[in-house]
Structures are given as structure tokens and as C-alpha cells.
Structure 1
Amino acid sequence: MISAGISSASAISETHTPDMLDHPNTGWGLIKDNPFYLSSIEQAKIIGVDFLINAVMDKDENLLYVSAGEVQKAHLACINKTKELFEVDIPEAAEIVVVSSGYPKDSNLYHVSAMAICAVAGSAVKYPCIKKDGTIIAASPMEEGAYNQVFYNTLQEAETPAEVIKKVRSITDLEPGHHRAYGVAQVLDKYKVIMAQSKLDSNIISSIHIEPNPSLQNAFEKTLAHYGNKAKVIVLLDTHRMIAKCRQ
């Protein structure tokens, strides 16, 4: 992975701006005119990468597919294989989405926010599988803590998710972590998010506008009672290796 693998902090920040995140062509599984993709290709050309060996692995890190050759061709081959293996077609959106990002992307708040929260309803998900005013219940241990302090502080210091969005849009000198706070705030501004069965201090979770619950079962039962027994429920596992698309 050339970008962000060997990119500087400034390069990452320049490619993770609110404008980039909100671009209509930015999205999971999208390549055509995607500014993230185009930026990564540009960075590879700048440093002179002329040969690529790329691979697709499953959740247990078993090798499933390998491609090699010219950078864009080899990368595109892996993209196509990834979509074939991990793109999930969901027939209908639900009021409740229970999600677990899966190891190793479940060990801290920063990664769970991306792979469980934003992967379900972030701006990069063009067809989210959650209904308007729905609830996301994320079940992950997060025993390593917040991980990125810029991300945590940006959410924690704001009174509301809307305030986070406004603040990050006004920052001229972005740092890695601002983009994640921005993306999570966009989700929190539209949906309720519960983090269940976490080893993380509940005060840390609640301080960033997310509801903590020590029990996944209790979180689910309370949420189901809120929407009623006719509510639709979707359960997504290992979303760090999934592109969930809802037919709409």
C-alpha cells in the first residue's frame, strides 16, 4: 500500500479533507474518478513505483489472490477480486444494524469508528443499509483505548456532532485524526450509535456522543423495544473485510 503506507502525515491530511470525504465520487468500492484513488496513483508515480505485487487476504490473513505487474493493472485486478469476494448485497435497509468490525480492527476506538460505524453509514457508503433515524450497535472490545488523540479530542471537546462537522471544516492545518472525527460526527448527526460490551471506559465512549452499554443483549433489547417488534434488523460481522451495499 503506497498511500497511506509510506505517505507523510501532511500527505495523509491533504487527502483526507472534508471536501475529499464529501466528494460524490468518494466511496467504498468506487474507482472511477474517485479522488482518493487518483491521489494514491499520483503518489505512486511521484516516487517512481513501476512494479506492484498485491494480494487479497481473508479475515484470518489467509492468502486468497495475488496479482503482479504494472501498478494500476495489478491493483485493479485485486480490486475486482476484492469486490467479488467481499461486496455484500443487502436487499433492504433496517432500523437496527448490529455490527462487529472483527479482529484486528476492533482493538481501539479509532479503528472501530471507521470499520464499524463509518463502514455502515459514513459518507463513503453510497447506499447505507440503515434507515433514517436508525440505530447502530457496535460490539467490539477496544481494549487499547482511543488510539488517536486528535480524533478523540475533536469529538470530546464539542457539544454536538454538528459542532464537530463545523469545526473540522474550518481547520486549515488538518492533522491525521481530524478526518475520522469528521466522518464519525456525520454519522452521529443522523443516527444513534451504541457501543456494547467494550472494555473501554464507558465515560470515554459517552464523552464523544456515543451511548455505552456493557451488554450487547441489553443494548439490542432496548433498541428493539424502541422501534417495535416489526423493526428490521441486520447483523454484520467482520466489516473490516466487507463492502456492504443496500439496494435502493
Structure 2
Amino acid sequence: SGGRKTLAVGAAGEALIAHTHGPAFIDDPRTRLGRIEGNPFHDAVTEAARRANLRFIINVVLDDEKRVVCVKAGEPVETHAQLVDFARSIYEVDIPHQYDVAIGGAGFPKDANLYQASRAASYLFFAPTPAVRPGGYLIIPARCEEGAGDGVGEQRFLTAMRDAPDIQFILDDARQNGYPPGQQRAFVMAKVLEQARVVIVGSETPDVVMDCKMTPVETMEEALALAARELGDKLDVLIVPHALLTLPVVVGR
């Protein structure tokens, strides 16, 4: 985030946002969190910012309490690269392998609705290597008292997830017809659910969770028991308390 994206997405029209968040970008295996070089999303927004004549930026890196811990100013590409290097030093965490289960905390206020809370699952999945093995479980504690969320994008996400007969339909429809901004979260989560099971713990709106093709349970014990029944009693579990601020990087491959 930041740098070229502040302009090329943050101040862009709906057409550019739809393009850069479209299925062709998300489907590309090079589009992964933490990957800069060769990432088609990065290349596209960098080019958009260049065409808009972005010449100077002042950007910061925040810690987990939203405190500024690094400030850089200057030419956009090099300045952003310096900030990326610093951000890696505080947010990337090496892990030895993929896990059977990853428990990811979304935290307040992201856990108030499913659109935002589901980011904890997709961030763990779209790490440079997914944090869980194929068929693994992504367990996210989230109250989701606001349901899917009330915004336009959040309602587009809910409608796309709820109205589709299955995950494959969401993927096929998006690849064939595209989607408006906001609805990309349905495509993202369909890609996650294609390879992993997403369990939401403690949701106050379990019907919404089910509508969105995820599994609601009341307790963490229930979630782990569900995983154990499918994957075996000796679960290999990764706990990521701040999943939106932590990038697990598999180093044992």
C-alpha cells in the first residue's frame, strides 16, 4: 500500500479500480502479498501513477498501534521501495512450513463485519506461500455484529456469495463477466475457499457466515474439533494474533 497506490487506487475512478482488482490480476500467481518485483498489480498501479505524473510522495510505516515508526519522502518508486524494506523488518515473520490450521485475529474494528474480518483469512492465504496446506483450515474469531457490512461494496460481496450456488460459480462468473468494485472480495474469498475451509468463531450473525459459504461455530474448541475430525487429532497449528499486520513467509520450502 502507499506510494503509487495512494494515487492509482485511492484517487482513481471506478474503471481503474475495477481493472486493477479484476480476476486477471487476482488469478495471477505472482499477485501475492509482500511480493513487489514481477507482481502485475504493483506494475499496473506504478504505471498508472507514472501516467498521472506522480513525482513526489511523503509516506509512513505504522506499527500495530498506528504509531508512525518510519517516514520517507522523495521520488515515488525509490521512496516506496525503502519503506517496503523497513515494513518487511517489522511485519514479515518466517515460518518453517505450511500448517494444517492457521488461527488469525482480525481485531477491532475489522471484526465487526464479515467483509473486513474475512481479510484475516485471505491475507494468510495470499501470503507468498499460503500459511495453510491445501485442504487446511483458516479459523477467524470475529463477532460480525454488522453482518457482512452496510457499504455498497460489502453488500455486493454478500449478494455475490449468497446468490451463487457454489464456489465454482463465483469463480467462473467473475472470470467471464468481471465485477464492480467491492465484489472482488467475493472472488478473493472464493479462491481461498477453493483450497481451504474458513471457520468464523463467535459470529453474532451465523446466517450471514453460512450465506457466504463459510462455517460459523460458537467456540474455538468447536472450530479445532471440526478441523481434527477432518485432518486428524495431531493438528499442526499456526496462531497469528494480528493477521492483518503479519505476513508469514515460509522459509523451509
**TM-score greater than 0.5 by the shorter chain:** yes
Q: Aligned pair 1:191/2:188, yes or no?
A: no
Query: 2:131 maps to what in 1?
Result: 129
Q: Aligned pair 1:161/2:151, yes or no?
A: no
Structure ranking higher in helix proportion: 2
Counterpart code for 1:156: R
- Answer whether contact 2:35 2:128 (CA < 8 A) is retained: no
| Structure 1 segments unaligned to the other structure (5+ residues) | none
Q: Aligned pair 1:212/2:216, yes or no?
A: yes
Q: Aligned pair 1:64/2:69, yes or no?
A: yes
Q: How does 1:9-88 map to 2 (within 5 A)?
A: 9-88=14-93
Q: Secondary structure at the match of 2:24?
A: helix
Query: 1:99 maps to what in 2?
Result: 104
In 2: Cα distance, 1:180 partner to 1:219 partner: 23
| Structure 2 segments unaligned to the other structure (5+ residues) | 1-5
- Answer whether contact 1:103 1:238 (CA < 8 A) is retained: no
Identity of aligned pairs, percent?
26
Counterpart code for 1:131: R
Q: Secondary structure at the match of 1:49?
A: coil
- After the TM superposition, which parts of structure 1 deviate over 6 Å for at least 4 consecutive aligned residues? none
- Answer whether contact 1:168 1:178 (CA < 8 A) is retained: no
Query: 1:242 maps to what in 2?
Result: 246
Query: 1:140 maps to what in 2?
Result: 142
Deviation track 1:124-146 (CA, whole Å, cap 9, x = no partner) reads 43311212211111112223331
Q: Aligned pair 1:177/2:182, yes or no?
A: yes
Q: Secondary structure at the match of 1:95?
A: strand
In 2: Cα distance, 1:66 partner to 1:227 partner: 45
Deviation track 1:91-143 (CA, whole Å, cap 9, x = no partner) reads 122211111122343232112222x111122xx43311212211111112223
Return the offset for 1:229.
3.0
- Answer whether contact 2:18 2:180 (CA < 8 A) is retained: yes
- Answer whether contact 1:89 1:244 (CA < 8 A) is retained: yes
In 1: Cα distance, 2:94 partner to 2:23 partner: 28
Deviation track 1:43-76 (CA, whole Å, cap 9, x = no partner) reads 2223322110110111210111111111111111
Count how many residue pairs are aligned between Structure 1 and Structure 2.
243
- Answer whether contact 1:56 1:64 (CA < 8 A) is retained: yes
In 2: Cα distance, 1:61 partner to 1:3 partner: 23
Counterpart code for 1:10: A
